[in-house]
Structures are given as structure tokens and as C-alpha cells.
Amino acid sequence: MAQIAYVNGRYVPLRDANVHIEDRGYQFADGIYEVCLVIDGAFWDLEGHLARMERSLGELDMPAPMSRAALLQTMKELIRRNRLRDALVYIQATRGVAARNHVFPPEGTPGGLVMTAKRFDLDGSDAIAETGVRVISHPDIRWGRVDIKSVSLLPNVLAKQAAKEAGAAEAWLTCDDVVTEGSSSNAWIVDSDGTLITHPKGNHILGGITRETALACAAELQMRVEERPFTLVEARAAAEAFITSATNLVTPVIAVDDAAIGDGKPGPVSRRLREAYKLRARGLRA
């Protein structure tokens, strides 16, 4: 069956999914996006994703392309047409099509909205999590409002490519030797006392929805958490480290640059937190 996309009011085969050359998302990266998960036919962490999408739109003074109720119905129909029970749904909204001009188009210009859905396996990254991943450090050269989930991701792309070329899975972005977050994930370490440490929310990181759920799981497991900046020196000396994102869930980090984390294997804290996250996603509790 052909994969179906939603493009500005129409459901079309993915191969025919096109947007106008003067869509501002294409010409100015004047748009935002979200990635939502569907697990066993139900949306997972949906309220957090929709709230963050609405916040991103508001921070950019960009009108919502449709109401929340209409958006939810469109997402459900997209999943139905793709015959998916477990899915990753990508949503992108832009300021729409207008003659190329840096200033906003006239009020009332229709915004752009595209969505795709593909199969997602909650257990699909288990093998990777069992062995853990390597990360590299990379300068954080992004703009000053990375808390907005905008489609302006070129610095992230360059960092991720640098990681790939180094044989690593992720790049941890650094500013004055402080780790902000990964190129497409949030960064965490666990100190020798078992305390989880992750950068606080603010303009310097994108507040991940998976990050919030990981914090909830940690509270349920009575794990100590500190939301504060940490340095590369701290990361390399940590007992454990891990990343969180919608697609990675909670994935242990076994090395930062050339420094092994702990004994170079996934540690008990990150493994326990990952299992708690998966149980929670399936409607259970740790």
C-alpha cells in the first residue's frame, strides 16, 4: 500500500506530496514542527506535543493552521489511511505561500500544513540500548531561541553529520564547555551518587516531551534529579549517561568523545529508566 501524506487539505500518495516553491518554510525556514507517537492505536504524550506546538507557533507569531480538534482529527485520519497501529507522525506548519519577502505576508494568508506517518516500533531500538551509543562533543552554534521547535535545523544537521563521520550516534552540543543538549535529543548524566543531571529548560535547549516523561518516571522510581548545566569534564567522569527523545526513548551513552562512561557499558540507572518509560508508554507503571 502506498504511504499517504497530508498536504494542505489533501491526502495524497507520498510520492505526489509537494509544496509550492514560495512556501516560506522552504525559503526562510519560517515554520515549526512536531513529532508524535502512536502506540497500540493511541497517541502517546499527545498533550505535551500539542501544547509545545502551540507555544512554538505563538513565539513566532504564526497563526495555527487549524484548530486543535481539527488537527487531531486529521492526524487520526492520516493514521487510518496508512493502516497503522504504531506510528510516528511528523507535523510541519509554516507561514504559508507568499511572494518572497522577509516581512510577514499579509494577514489572512493561509498557513501551510503537511503531515506524514510511518511505522514505529517501541522495541525497535532495544538492541542499540543494550549495547549503548557513543556521542561526540560539538560546538553549539544554533540561534538564541532553540526552545522553539522551528524547522531551522542546519546547525543540528551539521552536528549530526559530524557524529556520523566520527562513528558516533549523537553529538552533544557545547557552549563554553557546558553541554546544552544533543543535536536531536536531550542529554543526561548520572553522578557517582546516582543523581540524574540534565540541563534546565530555557532558551538554550528544546524542552523535550520525552524528557518530561523521563522526569516523571524518575520521580516515580524515587530517583534524585538535578536540573542544572553540566560540563564535558563532568560528563566524562560520570557514572552513567543517556539521551532521551521520542525515537530514542531512553538510550544509554557509553562514551563521550574518546572517554568511556563508567565501565563502558549501559548502567543500571539508565536501563531501569528506559524500562519504566516503556511500561508507562504501554499504559502500565514501573
Amino acid (one-letter) located at 253: V
Side-chain half-sphere exposure of 59, counting CA atoms within 13 A: 17
Q: What angle do CA 7, 13, 18 make, to 5 degrees?
A: 45
Residue 11's φ and ψ, nearest 5 degrees, are -100, 120
Amino acid (one-letter) located at 141: I
Distance, CA of 81 to CA of 17 (rounded, Å): 15
Distance, CA of 126 to CA of 1 (rounded, Å): 28
E-strand stretches of 46-105 = 87-94
Q: Could you give the residue numbers annotated as active site?
A: 149
Distance, CA of 80 to CA of 234 (rounded, Å): 47
DSSP state of 104: P
